[in-house]
Structure 1
Amino acid sequence: MTPIPLAEELLLLAYDDQTGKASGSRIGLDLGMAAAVLIDLALANRIAYAADGYLKVVDATPLGDPVADAVLEKVAADEPHTPAQWLQRLRHRLRIRVLEDLCARGVVQDVDETQLGVIHVHRYPTSDPAYEAEIRQRLTAALTGDSLPDERTAALVTLLVAARMEPALKLPPEEAIRAHERLEEIASNAGFLGDVSLEDSIVRPSVALVVATLGKAITAALGAPKPL
């Protein structure tokens, strides 16, 4: 199956397949999705974290994904911004844009309901479960295996931790603490949490640096996490 953007993966994990409603922190998901678009651009060698603390375009060639390409064009044309600034600038209406793309491709459907006769409420139940099933299979392999996953899955794990989206894994309470420890272990050994040098990371140092700075920016925006 062709990989889908990281922002779409986060969204599919957050939305319940049946009810079509998102769970967890709304702002956490929005910040995580904004970071995910930037990480996909870093994975594709389009942007990098510069020594002056800004995210900069190193290759303006479009990827072929409308959301990522729009962000790439914006980063290239706008004045320099830090990772934290880009998260705030990109998160607004990003979710709607991604949902529209998923609806257009038949992955989810837009169920428009009216409450109290005047209030429109949209739900997005799953139409094609294959994409989310593949995502959860990768995460399950990462959580239960002894080896570290590929850099893209490691980046997804880091986003789940940073955006406080671990409940989206739908694990029973007795497994949640161990899963949290494994998620943080993966992120740390990938060089995304600062516990491993970028040179020793399982991913490219340039990518690890982008993911690490975006993860810290999400954490700063959401505040300190509550203890388990």
Structure 2
Amino acid sequence: MTSIALAEELLLLAYDDQTGKATGSRIGLDLGMAAAVLVDLALKGRVAYVDGYLKVIDPTPIGDPIADAVLAKAAEDEPHTPAQWLQRLRHRLRTRVLEDLCARGVVRDVDETQQGYIHVHRYPTTDPAYEAEIRGRLAKALTTDGPTDERTAALATLLVATRMEPALRLPPEEAAQAHERLEQIAAGAGFSGSANLEDSIVRPSVALVVATLGRAITAALGAPKPA
């Protein structure tokens, strides 16, 4: 099984393997990736939602350079709300994640020049194993009724909150059912605010972080446009 940061999982789902171009909402992806960094820290027991703020409860690094830089900064800084953290983290985060993925050979940077002077970067997949593992976990979660692990449940919730469900590349006749199942996963994990955290399939501390970040993403994106 591959090991990859949650923000990287979102990015790989959003980028087309062949063209190397991002699909869907740019702001949605950036907000989702910012949230994903914080969720990874919550999953490792480093941050928690306390009295309306995300606070560091353990400053020990987790071994991911981006998450550890955020953790160190958060430990030194005053506490911020989930919405404030999303705005603080989303700028240039995508660039840093892409640079890390390129350095590890997961994607490659194709620098093209258009009109003689405009540089356009594409990031086609080089090593498909990472994304295959991600899509496999999501496919299992979508097609079974059993409990989902914390990490996959968090990823499913972020996909809904950021409106990235088209990245699943499901046929139209399966999209509605998949959306319903993703919302069921979020509710069962206590991520949607509709379940008692004591009944959550994940740790209440993690559920609180994901739920508050999900609401902050929804508020930042505003009401969805009519179909």
TM-score (norm 2): 0.98
Say yes or no: does 1:24 pair with 2:32: no
Indicate the residue corresponding to 1:166 in structure 2: 165
Q: Percentage identity across aligned positions?
A: 81
Following superposition, the deviation at residue 110 of structure 1 comes to 0.2
**1:152-190 CA deviation, whole Å, 9 max, x = no partner?**
100000000000100000001111011101111110111
**1:167-214 CA deviation, whole Å, 9 max, x = no partner?**
000001111011101111110111000111111000000000000000
Say yes or no: does 1:216 pair with 2:215: yes
Inter-partner Cα distance in structure 2 for 1:176 and 1:185: 14
Inter-partner Cα distance in structure 1 for 2:10 and 2:210: 15
Say yes or no: does 1:92 pair with 2:106: no
Following superposition, the deviation at residue 96 of structure 1 comes to 0.2
Indicate the residue corresponding to 2:13 in structure 1: 13
Inter-partner Cα distance in structure 2 for 1:123 and 1:105: 16
Q: 1:17 is matched by which residue type in structure 2?
A: D
Indicate the residue corresponding to 2:147 in structure 1: 148
TM-score (norm 1): 0.98
Q: Which 4+ stretches in 1 moved above 4 angstroms?
A: none
Inter-partner Cα distance in structure 2 for 1:226 and 1:161: 15
Indicate the residue corresponding to 1:41 in structure 2: 41
**1:48-83 CA deviation, whole Å, 9 max, x = no partner?**
0002x1111000001111000001011111111100
Inter-partner Cα distance in structure 2 for 1:196 and 1:70: 33
Point out where structure 2 has 5 or more consecutive residues left out of the alignment. none
* SS of the residue 2:34 aligns to: helix
Equivalences, count: 227
Point out where structure 1 has 5 or more consecutive residues left out of the alignment. none
Inter-partner Cα distance in structure 2 for 1:194 and 1:62: 29
Following superposition, the deviation at residue 226 of structure 1 comes to 4.4
Inter-partner Cα distance in structure 1 for 2:55 and 2:11: 26
